Structure 1
Amino acid sequence: MKGLRALPVLGWLLHQARGSKMGTSQAVTKTMCAPQCNGHCFGPNPNQSCHDECAGGCGSPWETDCFACRHFNDSGACASLCPLPLVYNKLTFQLEPNPHTKYQYGGVCVASCPHNFVIDHTSCQGLFWGQDSGRKEWVEDV
């Protein structure tokens, strides 16, 4: 495996496809998806579509078996949003605090923001001290 770092990604994929030992090989193929799958599937049949929140393929139809998430990764499951701070209670007809609230930190849902980040509604925002003024300033990008 020496010299793998110097190989470009395509070269590395071809190296993996041929197998690193003599006599071993792996097939590299593109799965032809059923039209209903919109190009995201793990097999050729209509019931082998990836979950809508999967990006880049999957191993099953479940949001927990995506190769990458389209929006957010929430404890290993792809989701369109992280669990919001307030949820609607159908019995009381009111918004109530969600005990399972998580915050957006990049492409991941986290239960608490990392050190030097603050909660800004539903996401973690970077905060730093200005060297000259000593005042707090927002960092827009996470």
Structure 2
Amino acid sequence: MLNKDLRAAIGDWIENEQNIQNYTKTYSIRGGQRGIYASALGAIYKVLFGRNKAQINEFLDVATYKTPKDNVDVNQLQRIAQIEDLAAKYIRRKSLNPIEAIRAAADALMIEVEEPKLGDRITRQDVHRVLDAKKASKK
């Protein structure tokens, strides 16, 4: 599941994009709009871990149906959130497509591929609460 800002940015991009078929064909995306969202999350996993969801879950020895975001280390979860936030801005401000935006965000953040690490079961909601509290304290 993508964060709400990135989901909204992708939704806006889908509404405004004239050539969705070309995008889905270029990136081999199936499943229409739902596939576009899923491919965005897959692209985040690819730039951060160099693996797809199934490979990450196998590596972490967790059930295949679970989202890796619920199982990875909190520092890796923060990197995912950073990529999501910056990618949403790239989609909105630079009109990049979702996969280009994610790759550009990872590049700008100087993200290097790393092995996924099993976290202590802190959920992404917990991380976003901490990040939001940090943002609020800086104001």
Q: Same fold (TM over 0.5)?
A: no
The structure richer in helix per residue is: 2
Find the structure with the greater CA-based Rg: 1
Structure with more of its chain in strand, by fraction: 1
TM-score (norm 2): 0.21
Taking structure 1 as the reference length, the TM-score comes to 0.21
